[in-house]
Amino acid sequence: MQLGMIGLGKMGYNLVLNLLDHKHDVVATDVNKEQVSKITADGAKGVESIKALVENLSTPRIVWMMVPAGDITESVIAELKADLEPGDIVIDGGNSNYKDTVRRAEELKEKGINYVDVGTSGGTDGARNGACTMIGGDADVFATIEPIFKDLSIENGYLYTGKVGSGHFLKMVHNGIEYGMMQAIAEGFEVLEKSQFDYDYEAVAKMWNHGSVIRSWLMELTQSAFSKDPKLDEIRGVMHASGEGKWTVEAALDLQVPAPVIALSLMMRNRSLEDDTFTGKVVAALRNEFGGHAVVKK
Amino acid sequence: MQLGMIGLGKMGYNLVLNLLDHKHDVVATDVNKEQVSKITADGAKGVESIKALVENLSTPRIVWMMVPAGDITESVIAELKADLEPGDIVIDGGNSNYKDTVRRAEELKEKGINYVDVGTSGGTDGARNGACTMIGGDADVFATIEPIFKDLSIENGYLYTGKVGSGHFLKMVHNGIEYGMMQAIAEGFEVLEKSQFDYDYEAVAKMWNHGSVIRSWLMELTQSAFSKDPKLDEIRGVMHASGEGKWTVEAALDLQVPAPVIALSLMMRNRSLEDDTFTGKVVAALRNEFGGHAVVKK
Amino acid sequence: MQLGMIGLGKMGYNLVLNLLDHKHDVVATDVNKEQVSKITADGAKGVESIKALVENLSTPRIVWMMVPAGDITESVIAELKADLEPGDIVIDGGNSNYKDTVRRAEELKEKGINYVDVGTSGGTDGARNGACTMIGGDADVFATIEPIFKDLSIENGYLYTGKVGSGHFLKMVHNGIEYGMMQAIAEGFEVLEKSQFDYDYEAVAKMWNHGSVIRSWLMELTQSAFSKDPKLDEIRGVMHASGEGKWTVEAALDLQVPAPVIALSLMMRNRSLEDDTFTGKVVAALRNEFGGHAVVKK
Amino acid sequence: MQLGMIGLGKMGYNLVLNLLDHKHDVVATDVNKEQVSKITADGAKGVESIKALVENLSTPRIVWMMVPAGDITESVIAELKADLEPGDIVIDGGNSNYKDTVRRAEELKEKGINYVDVGTSGGTDGARNGACTMIGGDADVFATIEPIFKDLSIENGYLYTGKVGSGHFLKMVHNGIEYGMMQAIAEGFEVLEKSQFDYDYEAVAKMWNHGSVIRSWLMELTQSAFSKDPKLDEIRGVMHASGEGKWTVEAALDLQVPAPVIALSLMMRNRSLEDDTFTGKVVAALRNEFGGHAVVKK
C-alpha cells in the first residue's frame, strides 16, 4: 500500500525500513533533512514538508505520525487537519495519552478524517524487524489498513482493540505492567546483591530464562545488561520515566483500581531522581525532637 | 547414577519419571504407599521406608528429599542423619527457608554428611520434562552430582550458585520477583477491566506475547487462563501464598533493601484473604467522627 | 463586617452561626429554603437567591461560597461573575481543586473581582466554635478581610498562605497527611486485633493520648469511636474518599515527589470499595496455571 | 516503694529522678560509674554492680531494667535469674521484642521470678516529667507495683494491657503507627516544598496545631523543628530506624495483616540510607536495553 510517514526518529525510521521490506510505497518527511536524505537513499520518497507529503499521496491518504507525544503531535495534527480531505486516515503511532487521542479523533471527525491510534511495543528492534502493535479506531477503517499492521508486526503480534483510544490505552497499561515487572526484577537483584551469597548475575538471569516461572524478555535483557557490566558498576541507579506509567497510575486512581505495585514502581523512580529528600529531613528532624536521635549534618 | 528419592508428590513423582527417562537408577519412597506402587510400575525401585531406601543405596549415597518445607523436612533430616554415613549426600529440593538450610547443613556436617540445597522452578511440567534448578553446596560435592542436574533440567536451566543455602535463597528471591510480576500483570488487567474500553483479554495476552516488552511465561499462562474463562467469572480473587514471598520481604527487611513492590504484592494477597478489615472499620469510624461521613452498617 | 454566605449545609450553616456570635452582619442564601428560614431565625438576613444576596450587600461586597466543589461551585461563580462589580471579593471556602481555583481567580480578575481561597479544617464543630483556616489570595485583599478569619478561627488557627490557590493547595495536602495518619493508626489497630493479646481499644487510645508520641486529635477520635462500639462490630470497613487525597497523590506525581504512604492510604480505600478484585482473580488463575494451586470457586 | 534501677542512660536516669520526686527509694547501677556517682548525688543509692543492687533490695525485690534491647538485656536477665529469689519482680522497660519477652518470662518463671514488660513512650522528657507506659504481666503482680506506674506516668498515661508480652507488643505497634504518621507528615511537606507556592513551614505547622484534624504531638515537634531551621537546610534526610517498626511489619506479615503504610514508612527509611541503589541500576540498564534510553554514567 501507499503510506506517508511523518517522523524519522529511531522508531519512525525503522518502521519505514520495515515497510519497504514488505514492498510498501512510502512517502516520508522529518524536520531533520539529513534523515529525509537517508530514507530516500533507502528507497522511500523523501519530501520536505507535511504539505508535500500530503500532495504526494493518492486519496484516500494514509498518514502515519511517529513524532513525540504532546505539543508536537498536537501541531502536526493541526496541520494535517488543514491539509487532508474527508476519507483520509491519520495514524498516531506514538505514545499519546488516550484522552488526547479520543479528543483528537473527534476533532478530525468533524472534517470527515479518520483517526487510528496505535500503541507500538518491542523497541527499535521490533520496529525494524517485527513490532507488537495494538490498534484502536473504527473497525472498517482498520480493515482497509490491516495489511500494513500484518506486515509491520511479528507474527500474531498485532491486535485490533476496539474504538479509538483503546490502542493507546492498552499500550499505556502495557507500560504500567512493564514498570512493575522491571521494579520486581530489580528489587530481587538488590536483595541478592546485599545478601551473604555471591552470585554471578548474568548466569542467574540466563538460568532463570531457561525453564523458570519468571523467564521473560525483560529477564533476557537483564542477562544482556549483566553480560556487558557484571555488577553494573559503570552506571548510576537513576530511573527516568517517560509518562505512560504516570498515566496508568492516574487512570487507576480515576477508575478506583488499587494498583500499588505500578504506583510504587513509579514512585521509586521519582525517588531515584532525588539526591536527598525533604521527606527524609522532616522525619530525621522529628526523630531528633522526640528522642534526641542524632541527625546527619550536611 | 543411583539416587534415592524421598517424597512422591506432584513434584517428586515427576522428577523420578524425568530421572528414569535419563536412565538413572532410582530408589523411591513415600508415606503414601499407593504412590510407591505406582512409581515401581513406572520403573523405579519403590521401598517402604527411609531406612529401606538407605539400605538399598550403595555408598556414597545420594538422597534427594522432595517433601514439604518445615516440620516434615526437619524430621526426615533427623532420620537421615541417624541412618546415613560420612560421605553420603543429602539434597533438599523443596522450598526450605535458607536459614534452616544453613543450619541443617552444619548439623549434618557434624557427622560428615554433605548437604546440597536445590531451588526448583518450572512447576510440575518442568519437573517432568526439564526443570530449572539452582544448586547450593560445596563445589566438589556438586561436581560429583552435576550429571543429575544436567539431565533433570532444561538445557542451560541449571546453575551452581555457591555455598550451601545459596540455592534456596535464590529460589526464594525468584519467587519474590514472581509475586511482583504477577501482581503487576494483574493490576494492569484490572485497569483494563474497569476502563471504558472492551478488550478480549485472551487476545491481548496473546498479542503481548508476540513482540512486546512484557512477553513472558507468566503472560503465556495469563493467555491460557483467559482461554478457559474469558473474564475469570468462575473464580474468586483469593490469593494464597506459600511462604517464599514472605521470606523475601523478611530478607529485604533484614538487609535493609527497600522492596516495596514485592512487599505490596504480598500484602495485597493477605488483603484478599479478608472479607472485611479492621483497618477499614477504624478509618470509616474516624471519618464519621470528624466529618459526620456516613458509615456502612453491617 | 458585612458578608454574604452562599451555602447553608453542615459547614456553611455553622460558619454563619459562628460569624453571628462575633457580631458580623450576614446575608445568607441556599437552594434549600428551609435552611434559609432557619438561619433567618438565628439572626442572619436570609434571602432567596444569589442575585438578592448581591443586592443586599454594600460595596465592596464580600461573598463567601460554601458549596460542593466541582460543577456547583463552577456555576455559582459564573453567576457571581455576572452579578458582582469590580472591587468585590469572592471567598471559596470549599474543597476546590487548587488548579480550578487558580483558573477561576484569573477569570474573575478579568472583571476586577478579587478571589480568595480558604481551606477549612476542624469539621463541623470547628466551623461552629473555632475553625482552622488557610487563606490564599492577594495580600492586600486578605488584609481587608482578616478580621473575619480572626473571629471564625480558633486562636492561632488561621494563616495567610500566599498567592491565590495556596490555601486550597495547603488544605489538600493537609487532607493527604490526614489519610496517611488515619491509615497508620488503623493498620496498628488491625495488628492488635489479630494478635495473640486482648486489648481494650478505648483504653489503649486513651492512654496513648496521655503522654505518647502518637497523641493526636485523630487518636482522640479513635478513643471516642471505640467508646461507642468497642470492637467496631456494627460497621463495615468501607472507606470512602472525597477527593483531596486523590488530588494530593496527583500533585505528588506531577511534582515527582515519592509519596508512597499517602498513595497507599488512598489505594487501600479504593480496595475497600471492592468485594472481589479482578487483580486477585488473575493472580489466583496464574497460581493455578503454573503450580496447580487450588482456586476458590464462586 | 523500694526499687532497683539497672541502666542510667537517657531514659533510665530520668526515670530515677522522676521516681525520687515521688519519694520512692531507688537503688541504681550502671556500667558507667560516672552515672552512678551522679545519681547518688541526686538522691538515689548508687551501687557498683547488679549483685550489689540485688543485695541492697529487700524482698520481694522490684528490679527495673532500662538497658538496650537484645544481647545486653539478655545478659542482664541471665545475671538476675542467678541472683534473684522466688517472688521477686523483674521489669523490662526497654524496647525488647515481645517474642523475647514471652520467652524470658517463661525462663524466669521456672525459678518463681515474676516478669513485667513495660513499653515506655514520651521520650526523655516524658521519662523525667510524666511518661506514657503500657504494662504487661500477671494481674496480681501488676497490682502490687501499680503505684510506681501511677507516679511515673502522666495522668491517665498508664495502662495494664494483659498477659506478659502485651506491653512490649503494644509499644511496638505504637512505634509502627508513629513511623506511618511521621512519613505521612513528611511526604506532605515535601509536596509543599516542591509546589509552586511558598509556605512558611513553621507557621503552617503552628496553624495546623490549632484546630485542624491533623493536630498532634508530632505536628508540634514539626513546628519546633522548623522554628530552629526553617527549611531544614542544615541536615540530610537520612532516616535511621531502631527496630520496632521492622518488628511491626514482621508481626503484620506473621498475622497476615496488610500494613502497607507502616511497611512503606520503614522501606523509605531504608532507601534513605542508600546513596545509590542496585535496584535503580537494574531498571536503568533495562530501559537502556529495550529502548536505548540514556543511562547516567558514574
**Domain annotation covers residue B282:** no
Domain end among A129, A163, A197: A163
The residue type of A227 is: S
- Chain C environment of D165 (Cβ under 8 Å): 196-197
Instruction: Please tell me whether residues D153 and D268 are part of one structural domain.
Output: no
What is the arithmetic mean of pLDDT over B231-250? 96
Contact of A232 with chain D, judged by CB distance below 8 Å, is answered with yes
The distance of D238 to chain A (nearest Cα, Å) reads 6
Instruction: Please tell me whether residues C188 and C114 are part of one structural domain.
Output: no
> What is the rounded distance in angstroms from the CA atom of residue A38 to the CA atom of residue B49?
75
Write out pLDDT tens, residues D151-166: 999 999 999 999 999 9
- Chain B environment of D213 (Cβ under 8 Å): 290
| A121, β-bridge pairs | A132
Instruction: Please tell me whether residues A154 and A8 are part of one structural domain.
Output: yes
- pLDDT tens track of chain C, all 298 residues? 999 999 999 999 999 999 999 999 999 999 999 999 999 999 999 999 999 999 999 999 999 999 999 999 999 999 999 999 999 999 999 999 999 999 999 999 999 999 999 999 998 899 999 999 999 999 999 999 999 999 999 999 999 999 999 999 999 999 999 999 999 999 999 999 999 999 999 999 999 999 999 999 999 999 999 999 999 999 999 999 989 999 999 999 999 999 999 999 999 999 999 999 999 999 999 999 988 888 999 8
Contact of A255 with chain B, judged by CB distance below 8 Å, is answered with yes
**Domain annotation covers residue B250:** yes
What is the arithmetic mean of pLDDT over B286-290? 92
Question: b/e per residue, B51-77, with b = 16+ CB within 10 A?
Answer: eebbeebeeebbbbbbbebeeebeebb
**Domain annotation covers residue D298:** no
Question: b/e per residue, C141-178, with b = 16+ CB within 10 A?
Answer: bbeebeebbebbbbeebbbbbbbbbbbbbbbbbbbbbb
Which residue on chain C is closest to B242 by alpha carbon?
A: C293
**Cβ–Cβ gap B289/C238 under 8 Å:** no
Say which CATH number the domain at D218 has: 1.10.1040.10
The distance of D211 to chain B (nearest Cα, Å) reads 12
Contact of C253 with chain A, judged by CB distance below 8 Å, is answered with yes
The distance of A58 to chain C (nearest Cα, Å) reads 43
- Which region, left, alpha or beta, applies to residue C70 given φ > 0 means left and ψ of -120 to 50 means alpha? left
D122 φ/ψ angles, rounded to the nearest 5 degrees = 110, 0
Contact of B279 with chain C, judged by CB distance below 8 Å, is answered with yes
Q: How confident is the model at residue B284 (pLDDT cuts 50, 70, 90)?
A: very high
The distance of D230 to chain A (nearest Cα, Å) reads 11
pLDDT at D242: 86
The distance of A125 to chain B (nearest Cα, Å) reads 10
**Domain annotation covers residue A42:** yes
Write out pLDDT tens, residues B96-129: 999 999 999 999 999 999 999 999 999 889 999 9
The distance of A26 to chain B (nearest Cα, Å) reads 24
Instruction: Please tell me whether residues A95 and A216 are part of one structural domain.
Output: no
Chains in touch with B (≥3 Cβ pairs < 8 A): A, C, D
Catalytic-labelled residue, pool D48, D99, D178, D289: D178
pLDDT at C290: 87
Residue A50 scores a pLDDT above 90: yes
Residue A298 DSSP class: -
Strands A25-29 and A45-46: parallel
Contact of A253 with chain B, judged by CB distance below 8 Å, is answered with no
What is the arithmetic mean of pLDDT over A89-110? 97
Catalytic-labelled residue, pool D45, D171, D244, D246: D171
- Chain A environment of D124 (Cβ under 8 Å): 291-292
CA distances from C43 to C19, C21, C62 (A): 10, 10, 18
pLDDT at C298: 85
Q: How confident is the model at residue A290 (pLDDT cuts 50, 70, 90)?
A: confident
Report the residue from D221, D277, D295 with minimal CB separation from A190. D277
**Domain annotation covers residue B208:** yes
Q: Could you tell me which of B32, B58, B33, B28 has the C-alpha nearest to residue B45?
A: B28
Domain end among A140, A163, A186: A163
Q: Structural domain of residue C69, as residue ranges?
A: 2-163
pLDDT at A294: 87
Write out pLDDT tens, residues A103-148: 999 999 999 999 999 999 998 899 999 999 999 999 999 999 999 9
Instruction: Please tell me whether residues B235 and B178 are part of one structural domain.
Output: yes
Contact of C131 with chain D, judged by CB distance below 8 Å, is answered with yes
Report ipTM for this prediction: 0.96
Task: Supply D240's cell numbers.
Answer: 535511621
Say which CATH number the domain at B45 has: 3.40.50.720
**Domain annotation covers residue D112:** yes
Instruction: Please tell me whether residues D74 and D25 are part of one structural domain.
Output: yes
Q: What is the tally of structural domains in chain B?
A: 2
- Chain D environment of B293 (Cβ under 8 Å): none
Instruction: Please tell me whether residues B109 and B21 are part of one structural domain.
Output: yes
Which residue on chain D is closest to B255 by alpha carbon?
A: D270
Only one residue has cell 477503517, namely A141
Instruction: Please tell me whether residues B129 and B223 are part of one structural domain.
Output: no
- Chain C environment of A263 (Cβ under 8 Å): 260, 263-264, 267
**Cβ–Cβ gap A126/B257 under 8 Å:** no
Entry pTM: 0.96
Contact of A74 with chain D, judged by CB distance below 8 Å, is answered with no
Q: Could you tell me which of A171, B177, A222, A239 has the C-alpha nearest to residue D289?
A: A222
Residue B9 scores a pLDDT above 90: yes
Domain end among B109, B132, B163: B163
Task: Supply A92's cell numbers.
Answer: 498516531
pLDDT at C57: 98
Instruction: Please tell me whether residues A145 and A56 are part of one structural domain.
Output: yes
Cβ within 8 Å of residue C106, ≥6 positions away: none
Window 196-225 of B: residues touching C by CB (8 A cutoff) are: 217-218, 221-222, 224-225
Contact of C182 with chain B, judged by CB distance below 8 Å, is answered with yes
**Cβ–Cβ gap A268/B248 under 8 Å:** no
D129 φ/ψ angles, rounded to the nearest 5 degrees = -120, 0
Question: At what angle are helices B244-254 and D244-254 packed, to 10 degrees?
Answer: 180
Strands C153-162 and C131-136: parallel
Chains in touch with C (≥3 Cβ pairs < 8 A): A, B, D
Instruction: Please tell me whether residues D147 and D229 are part of one structural domain.
Output: no
Task: Supply B119's cell numbers.
Answer: 531451588
Task: Supply C104's cell numbers.
Answer: 477561576
Task: Supply B239's cell numbers.
Answer: 490469593
> What is the rounded distance in angstroms from the CA atom of residue D64 to the CA atom of residue C150?
51
CB A170 within 8 A of CB A161: yes
- As annotated, the active-site residues of A are 171, 178
Cβ within 8 Å of residue B48, ≥6 positions away: B29, B33, B36
**Domain annotation covers residue A37:** yes
Report the residue from D181, D212, D264 with minimal CB separation from C264. D264
**Cβ–Cβ gap A258/C250 under 8 Å:** no
| Positions of chain D with pLDDT lower than 50, given as ranges | none
DSSP letter string, B20-59: HHTT-EEEEE-S-HHHHHHHHHTTSEE-SSHHHHHHTSPS
- Chain C environment of B292 (Cβ under 8 Å): 10, 123-124
Task: Supply C166's cell numbers.
Answer: 495556596
> What is the rounded distance in angstroms from the CA atom of residue C89 to the CA atom of residue C100?
17
- Chain A environment of C275 (Cβ under 8 Å): none
Instruction: Please tell me whether residues D153 and D254 are part of one structural domain.
Output: no
Containing C162, the helix (H) or strand (E) segment is strand C153-162
pLDDT at B298: 85
What is the arithmetic mean of pLDDT over B196-207? 98
DSSP letter string, B133-185: EEEES-HHHHHHHHHHHHHHEEEEEEEEEESTTHHHHHHHHHHHHHHHHHHHH
**Domain annotation covers residue B291:** no
Write out pLDDT tens, residues B55-102: 999 999 999 999 999 999 999 999 999 999 999 999 999 999 999 999
Instruction: Please tell me whether residues A62 and A150 are part of one structural domain.
Output: yes
